[in-house]
Amino acid sequence: MTNPDPAGDYQTVSQTTPAPPRRLTLFAVLAATALCADFVTKEIALASFSPEAPVELFGGLLTLTLTFNDGAAFSIGQGMPWLFGLIAIAVMGYILWLAWRLRDPWWAVALGLILGGAAGNLVDRLIRAPVPLHGAVVDWIQVPNWPVFNIADSAIVCGGVLAVWLAFRGRGLDGQLESTAARQSSESRTDPSEDEQ
């Protein structure tokens, strides 16, 4: 496997080599930023907005309101908060495991956003009424023809879209395109005809 340096060249690395500190720092900073931004804005929403008195901005293109969602992102899957809490914990654990292999800055951005968003909504499920893993997620942003959402939902969607785009391009966690990796792997194999000579 290889890793692109700032100049665009590739360096050979091992699959078991830890992620470069800069990649892990970018990943951690984005996750922490998404988590903190989500928590702070939810606290502001709880103190400032009400379901009975939504605040319309830009002619109704953006509405600031307050809803409590015990389902998944964008109010999907109501009535099973404990299930989505456990799913969030599993997803976060998997992302943290992947982070050890991160060598591509774009994958660090994608996974950092997803981790921060998942953590933001998990915090709601853990600390809000009625009981841990059964708490309702605070949603407060509404746009036309779209479910009410929050900063955590936005981070998950943005990170997910970026991850799909990177995967579609065949870009691995190490930053190398699959076609390049396959070509280098084939070139590294010893030609049987050369051994016979």
CA atoms within 13 A on the CB side of 131: 1
- Residue whose C-alpha is closest to residue 136's, from 197, 60, 51: 51
> What sign does the CA torsion over 77, 121, 73, 141 have?
positive
Alpha helix locations (H) across 6-104?
21-48, 81-99
What are 137-195's pLDDT values in tens digits? 999 999 999 989 999 999 999 999 999 999 999 999 988 887 665 555 555 555 555 55
Interstrand relation of 10-12 and 55-57 (parallel, antiparallel or unpaired): unpaired
Predicted pLDDT at 190: 52
Predicted pLDDT at 37: 98
Question: Which residues are designated catalytic?
Answer: 139, 153
How does DSSP classify residue 149?
Answer: B
Integer angstrom CA distances of residue 46 from 16, 49, 126: 45, 6, 17
Q: Does the predicted model carry a pTM greater than 0.75?
A: yes
